[in-house]
Amino acid sequence: MRQVITSVNFRTSNGIRKDGTARPVHGITADANDFMHGWLNYQIEHHLWPQLSMLSYQKAAPQLRAICEKHGVPYVQHSVFRRLKKTADVMVGAASMRQFAPEWEAEEDKFEWKA
């Protein structure tokens, strides 16, 4: 869950349409879009499964997005330009990175320093 929450994908031509139907995983538009982004549009999938091939990310993305939606986990996709602006804002201190919400932390994983 932490890998999904703390990562952001570039918006792609893959995934789920607004009407709920699946977009094609492969095709000239999807493949060209992925190539032009250098497959950086699959950061969430990469952080979950770092050893998968780039083509496997294409197949996994719509399925992972559906799982996240089912369980109420944010699967964030932004345009390249929005991500560049956000990165620049974080670098100059005008914004902070998205935090992993404390309520999402499993009880057995919580840790507190003792004084």
Q: Are 77 and 11 in contact (CB under 8 A)?
A: yes
Q: In the block, which residue shows the tokens 């999938």?
A: 45
CA–CA gap between residue 54 and residue 70 (Å, rounded): 25
Q: Model pTM greater than 0.75? A: no
Other CB atoms closer than 10 Å to residue 87's CB: what's the count? Answer: 12
Residue stretches of the chain with pLDDT short of 70: 12-27
pLDDT of residue 51: 92
pLDDT in tens, 5-19: 888 888 765 555 666
3-state secondary structure 50-101: CCCCHHHHHHHHHHHHHHHHHHCCCCCEECHHHHHHHHHHHHHCCCCCCCCC
